[in-house]
Structure 1
Amino acid sequence: MFMRKIKSKVLLLMATILLSSIFIFSGCGGNFGGSTGGGNYNGGYTPSHTHSYDKEVVADQYLCVPVSCTTPAYYYKSCSCGKKGEYTFSYGEPLGHNYVDKPGLEPTCIDSGYTEYKECSRCEHIIDQIYIAPLWHEYVDGVCTRCDHVKTTSTTDLKYFNFTLIDNKGTPLEHDDEYEISLKNEYINELYNEVPEEIVIPSRINYEYNMGTVTSIADNGFASYRIKDITIPDSVKSIGMNAFIHAGLNATITVPSGVNLCYRSFYGSQFKSVILNDGIEEIPNECFYNCTNLSNVTMPDSVKYIGDKAFAGCKNLKNITNPSRADKIITLSNNLSRVAKNAFSDSNPELYDEKDGVLYVDTWAVGVKDKTTLEKVEIKDGTVGLSDELFYINNNDYLQETNLKCSIKSVYLPSSVKYIGYSAFADCERLIRVDGGIGLLYFSDYAFENCTSLTSIVLYEKVKSLGSYTFYGCKQLTSLSIMGDELMFGGESFAYCPISSISVNPNHVQFCVENNCLIDYGNGTIVIGNRTGIIPDACEHVLTCENGMRSIAKIGEYAFSGRVTFSSINIPESIFIIDEYAFADCKNLETVVLPTSTGDNKYRINEGAFYKCSKLKNINFPDNLYEIGYQAFAYSGFTSIDLTNICHQKNMYMAGQVFAYCENLEEVTITLEQRYLPALTFNECSKLTKINYLGTIEQWNKITKYNQWDYRTADYIVYCSDGNLTKEEVNA
């Protein structure tokens, strides 16, 4: 009986210990002493647990950013133990704006007003609010009929304007000498009524014993001034930002020849007519935005660019005249080569001519009524250019998150079209064919970016230039024909295009085709790679060339980007430069064989050369490797890397994040010649546990280790010839 009681107590004690163990050790990363921090209780036990922040729990304790009108809520991901991670996930949908009507404010003689508008009750976002300029004083016998202000004595002496004289570097004048100066008015609102309504700006000013030539009107120079007439001298070469914002009063302003205008130079001004003289080349973004009183603009042939919203909101603009084409009411510059998006948006409808849903201002297509329903487009004959983002739907322009897509499937370009604007057809995923285009001269950047249904392109004889990333991401573009003999472009123009058929004018000054690769034999570069991965080492079609190079020395930018049709490549010995993103996103590439040596040439693997080659596991580095660029092998599939061959060059350069985000990388071998480890070299290599160093601990400690070179790696061990170091000891 006694022994039975003993056994019962022992069993009870064992059960208690077992339950205690369960409660003590069931937490992830908990400490024996109950601490929530990282330290351990002396003599205690910390269970080994690796947090996995893969849980998406919607709860207040994980809230990162609350839901708003335009964004969903964001929560931190968490571990199964409840610990909060650093990364987030989105949940739900944005609330959307809740607009309520708000009253307007009547303008006064000296203060502006605004129309009735709508304001969101949650985030205070405002729409439909239109600025109304001050009414200005109306004097009868020296007294304002509206506010009873008494007119004081005024003067047209320039000193009265309190102009500050500065030289062309912004330094105030101090000596009696000739300078280029800027007119910068420092009047305050209370003195608006004292500004003369008729202003003649002199070309030279003598002020406090300083003499200078007036070359510019400074930012905000005549902001909100009631100007009935103003004369700007030919000496003025620039008009600053907001220089005439909300200024003017039914006046005509003439801008001298060759003046550089700025962003919002005339924003909201009340001038009725603007005469731009010859030599002005750009009308910048929002230059005449919301000039609701503007009805006439004279535009010379020197204008080459009209910026974003340059004439947006000009609701009374009826005439745009060109001195060389006086027979038409709406005539843009004959030398105009680019019109930005929204250049004429929300302007007078009389400016537009519509055909099949496309809006035109003179010879430029500037808008589309509904991009989501239009499938077939025939650009009007006589059209010279297509404006920026003509068919592109930028979902960021919407107040609420959208995923709208352009519906266009085919487009015909008459021979009159010379210019295709920035992102004109970007993200037109349904666009299958582009017909015509025989008169095209210039493609702007990203013109056909991500047109994923486009299969072939013909570049006719007149094409002179392709912008950067013109056909970027056209994932079904397999056929390219170059009809002219002078067109030049870089590989980024066709980045991520799986081109398999290339034809080039045999008389081209610098391009040829070798093994279905487009070669720039002038500098020995593969511009567009093939789909086989068989890389040529010479241009067999160019046996003699006075200015060219027969050998191929470089694989150009994006040349083989996005190819998925080969698993291994052998780089010829003639090649010693692999340029930026040359093999980026080659998802099936597993093995790269580089030449062991390239003679006296220094081998370079530039930025992102093998970026996101997720299956790449095998590569040998040449003995004369001189440079590895930023993220050259980021997101690759290496499980181990041997760097013993890459540091023999005394001045060998390695950029940051070379092997960042290699999630399967477990082991690295480093030679004792390694002088430094760049910032974030192994960033996010979460499985890296073993670093073999072919030297002593003392030599390892002499290696310069830059900021967070081992950020978010596993708890690795460095194996040196005379002992080992833990990650904690390395970073101590």
Structure 2
Amino acid sequence: MKNNRCLMGALLLFASLAATAQDVTEFMVTQPGTLSELVPQEEYTTLSDMKITGTVDARDFFFIRDSLTRISSIDMTEATIAACEVEGTAYAADAIPANAFSRPQESFGMNRMTSFSAPLSTRSIGDNAFYLCNVLRETNVESLQELQYIGNGAFSRCNRLRQFVLPASVVEIGDAAFAYDVVMMSFDVAAGSSLETLGSDVFRGNAQLGALDFSAATRLSTIGDYAFASCSNLSAVELPQSVGSIGEGAFMYTAVDKADWTHLWSLDIVEGSMFYGTTSLQQVRLPQSVQEVRTSAFFGCSSLQEVSLSYNLTFVGDWAFSGCTALDSIFCPAQTLPLVGYEAFDGVAVENVTLAVDATKMPLYEADMDWGAFHIVGIDVSGVGLTKVSVAKVVRGSQSLLLTTQKEMAQVAVYDFGGNLLSQVAVSGCDAVVALPVSGARYIVRIAYADGTTEVVKR
């Protein structure tokens, strides 16, 4: 009897697996736009898993969206997409059409579809294609080696999409493409990425994202307004040197604790509300190319302690550092006195903040109504304007500072924030260990290179 029960169980399992395999219904579309003629009407409300081969167009996508109400998975990997025109709107070949599986004006998305595999020849994903497909878990986007564009809102509010791998071929990601994907935990960029543009609001409201690394996207130049805003768990975003424009409010209400942008040599403006309300932010280092820090850029960054401004800075906007109550030190090598906007440092006890400036410009800062309120010290900043000389790694050690640079050093000098010389050593090579009087303290380090250039960094 026991053996019979085991045999019966095995047969039932086999039958279940066979039934599951047979549940995927295949449709061969020989004439684009005719999928509706191939699906029996009585299956409109029962069909769950389908595989489509042949050639489809936008009409077939809209048929699935509007008629197949219980679809769970769609496999189009062996299909191609043809161009067509629907009600006066042209749809391109090799493009998943805009609103393919959603009707945004009705707040509708296919809320049973868990898996979608696109044709491998897909070159673009249209605006709002998967908007509000709130149980979508799996896509084959990382396998789409021809994909160049992901449209506005394409995957917005896909509330079960946990991870995404961006193929190297993608050049542009549109506005709000992944906004409010509330369980997304990872977004990976493939090596050799062609990405040039991240749209506005692209990841806005993704509360589970912990870190993003775009360093592989060496062509990335533009990041839109509010791109990462309200990603409340986002602690780090790695950006490539190529970035020259970061939009307003891009990092507001995130968990970023450090912004070391010294390598962003093309960035000339820190836009308004850039880190607004980012209470975790402790350190900011701007590239020497920055000319303006605009309105409320660091408003309410209550943990911000250290700020390195730029050699070319001309303007600090209204409320730029308002509410930065932990501010302890500012390094400002600007050669022309930067204008300071209304209440730029409101709520900051500026008399307790050390402002390190070019020693030759101290009288200029001391005489200014705004800058003169700080505790000003003068230091040697010669060479700091050389924006393309960078320290590869600075590690604070136990009573010593390890420097590793990208070219040969000749001398290293260490100053405190009062401008006092603490240590000076001759160096030959790209590595140096400099003794420090107090472990873990903050210092200004001046490096003289063998080629005659110098650089000032702050730790």
TM-score by length of 1: 0.30
Structure of larger gyration radius: 1
| Structure ranking higher in strand proportion | 2
Between 1 and 2, higher relative CO (CA 8 Å, sep ≥ 6) is seen in: 2
